[in-house]
Amino acid sequence: MGRRIVDRVLSDAAASGHRRIVLHTDTSGNVEIYRRMGFTLVDEQMRDSQLRCHVLAMQIGG
């Protein structure tokens, strides 16, 4: 179900004229899932001593 939701969001964003999607996740295990969907890891930031924020992006549309 998660993949279908992401696909729908990407489709709706492209139809609305958006060309880039950026997302953040605090869950390291999600990074590889998003990479398989076509996202690229663009940044990682430490929010505190135990929490890492991963920033991913994807070009969409024409």
Residues 6+ apart with CB under 8 A from 10: 21, 58, 60
Domains in the chain: ranges and CATH:
2-59 (3.40.630.30)
More confident residue, 3 or 41: 41
Q: What does the DSSP assignment read for 29-41?
A: HHHHHHHHTT-EE
Query: 39, exposed or middle or buried, with CB in 10 Å at 0-12, 13-18, 19+?
Result: buried
Q: What is the per-residue pLDDT for 3?
A: 86
pTM for the full predicted model: 0.82
Residue 16 has pLDDT above 70, yes or no: yes
